[in-house]
């Protein structure tokens, strides 16, 4: 019996046309995340099988739980044979030291020519266990132990426990998106959700030194690094935003500061996205959460871009967003108290129902094209894979 890891990818089955691309990418992503391990990967009929050449199961399982496109993970035994007597003998061996009172057998066949069907196998193997192990009972609803038996073409697998995978589609099967990443709670969660659909992300961060600190930037780098786990590394475009913000402050009525500032952010984001072949902008806006997220605000802000803007958390409650942030381990970093450029120059009464006419009128007060081009030209790029020592200091 060889110990193996079985990987199931349920949702991929719906992707008939692209299945080969998806499987190839999933395999590459697994190989990448397990680059330091001694393994081989093969796949057939709805399953990927990892054979380990050492005994590093715990570590490998942990890493696999960070791979999108995996629905379920099981540590299994490959019997290298699907004869019924071999299955019985193996069950005998495996159940000998297991503690359980009640059980059920769940059989599956990918080899439909096998001489027993799944029902017959369940019945036969259940009977075999009852006969060979005393004091055990069948309980199909709530068993202590579920015994999974999978009949493959030339072999059979047995396993007892399944771990839930991350689900979604393998990263890098759907092109690139640009995540507007602030230091807050929402945008990292938005990024994670886009990654889950197979989008590889780059990030854009607007900084306004000296009003915003290096600590705020390091916080963003640390958040990006947490998302980088799912795709290897993340490129962060850091955009100097001080001059634009100060100019807006001098030239725009107080209640429109935030609206115009956001319009400028989006204009820059679209330019950076196009330059880097990102096809969508991803943003952490949430309907109704603040003044700039009313439907009127979203309309006049969104008006400056043609590119699709995806807002994965738009319809979530804050508590639901926080729950995901905790799961993906970004929450503790997000709540560190460094000022973001959105929290400086905040007016007492930002407009809740801005109009496009007013925005266009106020934007005539300054030459934003020149400022935007200057900001884009002066971007700095940080790659999470090259920043490790520094950002860790701030965690």
Based on CB atoms, which residue is closest to ligand ATP, 187 or 222? Answer: 187
> CB under 5 to 8 A by kind: which of Mg ion, ligand ATP, none does 82 bind?
none
Based on CB atoms, which residue is closest to Mg ion, 150 or 285? Answer: 285
Per-residue binding string, Mg ion, 337-376, x by CB under 5 A, is -----x----------------------------------
107 binds ligand ATP (CB under 6 A): no
CB of 182 vs ligand ATP, minimal distance in Å = 3
Based on CB atoms, which residue is closest to ligand ATP, 105 or 221? Answer: 221
User: 356 φ, ψ to 5°?
Assistant: -65, -40
CB of 190 vs ligand ATP, minimal distance in Å = 6
- Alpha-carbon distance of 11 to 26, in angstroms, equals 12
SS3 per-residue string spanning the chain: CEEEEEEECHHHHHCHHHHHHHHHHHHHHHHHHCCCCCEEEEEECCEEEEEECCCCHHHHHHHHCCCCCCCEEEEEEECCCCCHHHHHHHHHHHHCCCCCCEEEEEEEECCCCCCCCHHHHHHHHHHHHHHHCCCCEECCCCCCEEEEEEECCCCEEEEEEEEECCCCCCCCCCCEEEEECCCCCHHHHHHHHHHHCCCEEEEEEEECCCCCCHHHHHHHHHHHHHHHCCCCCCEEEEEECHHHHHHHHHHCCHHHHHHHHHHHHHHHHHHHHHHCCCCEEECCCCCCCCHHHCHHHHHHHHCCCCCCEECCCCCCCHHHHHHHHHHCCCHHHHCCCCCCHHHCCCCCCCCCCCCHHHHHHHHCCCCHHHHHHHHHHCCEEEEHHHCHHHHHCCC
CA distances from 91 to 49, 118, 130, 204 (A): 20, 17, 12, 54
Six-digit token string for 377: 């030209």
341 binds ligand ATP (CB under 6 A): yes
CB of 334 vs ligand ATP, minimal distance in Å = 7
- Alpha-carbon distance of 315 to 158, in angstroms, equals 42
330 binds ligand ATP (CB under 6 A): no
Based on CB atoms, which residue is closest to ligand ATP, 204 or 382? Answer: 204
Contact with ligand ATP (CB under 6 A) among 168, 284, 312, 354: 284
Per-residue binding string, Mg ion, 136-175, x by CB under 5 A, is ----------------------------------------
351 binds ligand ATP (CB under 6 A): no
Cα radius of gyration (the chain): 27
CB of 109 vs ligand ATP, minimal distance in Å = 48
69 binds Mg ion (CB under 5 A): no
328 binds ligand ATP (CB under 6 A): no
> CB under 5 to 8 A by kind: which of ligand ATP, Mg ion, none does 186 bind?
ligand ATP
Per-residue binding string, ligand ATP, 153-192, x by CB under 6 A, is ---------------------------xxx-xxxx-----
CB of 272 vs Mg ion, minimal distance in Å = 19
Residue number closest to ligand ATP, CB atom = 184
CA angle in degrees (0–180, nearest 5) for 8-10-12: 105
Contact with ligand ATP (CB under 6 A) among 68, 103, 205, 316: 205
283 binds ligand ATP (CB under 6 A): yes
CB of 269 vs ligand ATP, minimal distance in Å = 8
182 binds Mg ion (CB under 5 A): yes
CB of 206 vs ligand ATP, minimal distance in Å = 4
69 binds ligand ATP (CB under 6 A): no
Q: Using CB under 6 A, which of the segments 129-137, 161-169, 340-348, 359-367 binds ligand ATP?
A: 340-348
Q: Is the Cβ–Cβ distance between 350 and 259 less than 8 Å?
A: yes
CB of 342 vs Mg ion, minimal distance in Å = 5
Question: What is the binding site for Mg ion (CB under 5 A)?
Answer: 182, 184, 342
Question: What is the binding site for ligand ATP (CB under 6 A)?
Answer: 180-182, 184-187, 204-206, 283-285, 289-290, 292, 340-342
């Amino acid at each position: 019996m060889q110990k193996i890891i079985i990987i199931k990818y349920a949702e991929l089955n719906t992707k008939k046309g692209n299945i080969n691309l998806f499987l190839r990418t999933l395999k590459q992503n697994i190989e990448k995340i397990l680059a330091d391990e001694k393994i081989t990967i093969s796949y057939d009929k709805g399953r990927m099988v990892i054979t380990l050449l050492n005994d590093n199961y715990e570590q490998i399982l942990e890493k696999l739980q960070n791979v999108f496109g995996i629905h379920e993970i099981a540590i299994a035994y490959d019997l290298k044979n699907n004869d019924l007597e071999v299955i019985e003998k193996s069950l005998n061996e495996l159940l000998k030291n297991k503690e359980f009172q009640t059980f059920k057998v769940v059989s599956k066949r990918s080899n439909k020519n096998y001489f027993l069907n799944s029902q017959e196998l369940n019945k036969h193997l259940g009977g075999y266990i009852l006969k060979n192990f005393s004091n055990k009972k069948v309980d199909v609803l709530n068993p202590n132990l579920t015994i999974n038996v999978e009949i493959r073409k030339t072999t059979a697998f047995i396993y007892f426990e399944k771990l839930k995978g991350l689900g979604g589609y393998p990263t890098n099967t759907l092109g690139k998106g640009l995540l507007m990443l602030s230091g807050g709670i929402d945008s990292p969660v938005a990024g994670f959700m886009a990654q889950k659909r197979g989008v590889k992300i780059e990030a854009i961060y607007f900084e306004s030194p000296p009003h915003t600190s290096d600590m705020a930037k390091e916080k963003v780098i640390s958040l990006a690094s947490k998302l980088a786990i799912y795709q290897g590394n993340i490129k962060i475009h850091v955009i100097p935003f001080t001059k634009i913000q100060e100019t807006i402050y001098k030239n725009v009525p107080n209640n429109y500061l935030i609206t115009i500032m956001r319009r400028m952010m989006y204009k820059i984001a679209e330019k950076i996205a196009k330059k880097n072949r990102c096809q969508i902008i991803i943003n952490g806006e949430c309907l109704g959460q603040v003044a700039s997220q009313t439907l009127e605000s979203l309309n006049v802000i969104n008006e400056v871009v043609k590119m699709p803007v995806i807002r994965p958390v738009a319809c979530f409650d804050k508590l639901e967003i926080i729950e995901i942030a905790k799961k993906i381990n970004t929450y503790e970093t997000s709540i560190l108290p460094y000022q973001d450029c959105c929290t400086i120059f905040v007016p007492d009464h930002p407009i809740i129902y801005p109009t496009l006419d007013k925005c266009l009128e106020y934007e005539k007060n300054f030459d934003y094209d020149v400022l935007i081009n200057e900001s884009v030209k002066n971007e700095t790029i940080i790659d999470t894979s090259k920043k490790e020592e520094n950002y860790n200091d701030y965690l």
